[in-house]
Chains A and B, each alone.
Chain A
């Protein structure tokens, strides 16, 4: 158990809908990262927040957005969902914001878009 929690574990929704995934980092960690894992694209970095501010952006679609709240939990919002958005979404956390910080991954949210 990494100490990173994610809810919900599973989410089934329809195309065109909007969902919100939630992540709570390990106690004391200030950075949160979001990743998408799919059969087509493999593991992809989406976005990073540090202490409430966006720090890095990867292959995140414009339909997706994220934020980190004052209590350091983060939410990933996915809108206008398409079949291809079906994937495992992982959140990870680290203490610092820099490039040398080890990341600890949560259990993931499995999103199925029908």
Chain B
């Protein structure tokens, strides 16, 4: 059965620091999504990665995909408080199913 593992599950970091969230998955897929969810809110699409080696950047966030290693990373550069949220990766399957990781709850402290 497909497993999507995110780590860490909880991340507390200081403003201005860098960190990486990892998303490992156990089956072949060339479609990986990253979402952000604020408490009590819906999911906001951050990145759609559709091929091996894909790299996308938006502000202080950069996502990459290595389909051979079955690994995606979400790198945070010079964190600010506004980035505090839960971040989910999701792996797309050929039957249009999408499996989510457990989420990484990020807290950025001043």
The answer to whether A106 touches B102, judged by C-beta atoms less than 8 angstroms apart, is no
Known interface pairs A43-B88, A99-B31, A100-B50; A105-B44 also in contact (CB < 8 Å): yes
The answer to whether A48 touches B96, judged by C-beta atoms less than 8 angstroms apart, is yes
CB-defined contacts of B68 to chain A, threshold 8 Å: none
Q: Count of chain A residues with Cβ under 8 Å from any Cβ of B? A: 24
CB-defined contacts of A106 to chain B, threshold 8 Å: 42
Closest CB in chain B relative to A49 CB, distance in Å: 11
Query: How many A-B contacts if CB must be within 8 Å?
Result: 53
CB-defined contacts of B41 to chain A, threshold 8 Å: 107
For residue B26, CB closer than 8 A to chain A, the reply is no
A37 to B13, CA, bound (A): 26
The answer to whether B103 touches A90, judged by C-beta atoms less than 8 angstroms apart, is no
CB-defined contacts of B102 to chain A, threshold 8 Å: 42
Residue in A43, A55, A90, A107 whose beta carbon sits within 8 Å of that of B96 in the complex: A55
CB-defined contacts of A92 to chain B, threshold 8 Å: 43
A selection of 28 A-B contacts at a CB cut-off of 8 Å is A2-B42, A2-B44, A33-B98, A42-B102, A42-B103, A43-B43, A43-B100, A44-B100, A45-B99, A56-B95, A56-B96, A57-B97, A58-B98, A90-B43, A92-B43, A98-B96, A99-B92, A99-B93, A99-B94, A100-B50, A103-B33, A105-B35, A105-B42, A105-B43, A105-B44, A106-B42, A107-B41, A108-B42
A-side residues, CB < 8 A to B, are: 2, 33, 42-45, 48, 55-58, 90, 92, 97-100, 102-108
